[in-house]
Amino acid sequence: DTEVTQTPKHLVMGMTNKKSLKCEQHMGHRAMYWYKQKAKKPPELMFVYSYEKLSINESVPSRFSPECPNSSLLNLHLHALQPEDSALYLCASSQVLVMDRGSPPQHFGDGTRLSIL
């Protein structure tokens, strides 16, 4: 079991639907991430939140809207998605900084498998 919990595990939606993906962690991490992963490819970074503020948006289309309501929760709101948006959406979390030790490790959830009809 991972310490980053994502719901739902599977989601099928039409191109006109609005849905949300949810991510929760209780490790006290203050950095949270959304990634998109296509089959047989590495995860691609979409968004980074640090201390509940959006710090990185990797030029993601506006049909994806992230939200970080508190330090434990991260949401990804979906609207008017396209078939090419079908993928595994992964959430990760990490400490913001590891003093004198460089980059902190990121811990991933098991993702939401999203299919767009």
Partner 1 sequence: QQQVKQSPQSLIVQKGGISIINCAYENTAFDYFPWYQQFPGKGPALLIAIRPDVSEKKEGRFTISFNKSAKQFSLHIMDSQPGDSATYFCAASRRRTSGSRLTFGEGTQLTVNP
Binding residues (CB under 8 A) for partner 1: these are 2, 4, 6, 31, 33, 40-43, 45, 48, 50, 55-56, 88, 90, 94-97, 101-111, 113
SS3 85: helix
* Residue 2 to residue 103: CA distance in whole angstroms: 21
- Smallest separation, CB 82 to partner 1 (Å): 23
Please say which residue, 11 or 88, places its beta carbon nearer to partner 1.
Answer: 88
- Smallest separation, CB 50 to partner 1 (Å): 4
- Smallest separation, CB 16 to partner 1 (Å): 28
- Smallest separation, CB 80 to partner 1 (Å): 26
Long-range CB contact pairs, 79-82, < 8 A, 24+: 79/17, 79/18, 80/15, 80/16, 81/13, 81/15, 81/17, 81/114, 81/116, 82/15, 82/116
